[in-house]
Amino acid sequence: MTDLDLEFEHIYLEAKAERWHQIERFLFSYFCYREGYLSSKGNPDWEKARASSPRSLQVESLSQSDLEPVVPLEVVVGEIKRYVRDGKLTPTTLKRVLDCILHYKTISKAQKQALKKAGLQSAMPASWYQSEKKDPYLRFKLQGIIVQETPE
């Protein structure tokens, strides 16, 4: 069993036990293992993730940037809760949810502040919740955050 599999199991077991407050702590590690953002010792590496993740066109230097989940982690947990509530959480559905909405991008500190001012730091825009096709980039788009997919 790989580290990625172990992190996935942690998330799945916490969701099945409805220990919602515990799930967030595993999401970043899962992301790092999935994307290969690991230290030389094989641990999740925040700095490597920030340096390697696609970044906003407004990022001028990594020291003035933050690693930001595309969909706030509270919303990711909320989506998992919805599947549990509806009795539809399986390992397959959980993996699909995580693969679709658990991504991080590097944005400028000013952009992060703009998300906060717009009330989008820990929530998606209201229209996202009612939408059938949930665009994970909606809150970035509404704030004019354009992400280049390959870091410089």
d(CA 135, CA 88): 21
Backbone phi, psi, residue 65, to 5°: -135, 165
| Residue 38 DSSP label | B
Q: Is the per-residue pLDDT at 152 higher than 70?
A: no
pTM score, whole prediction: 0.94
Q: Is the sign of the CA dihedral 116, 25, 81, 68 positive or negative? A: positive
64, 58 Cβ separation under 8 angstroms: no
Mean pLDDT for the stretch of residues 15-39: 97
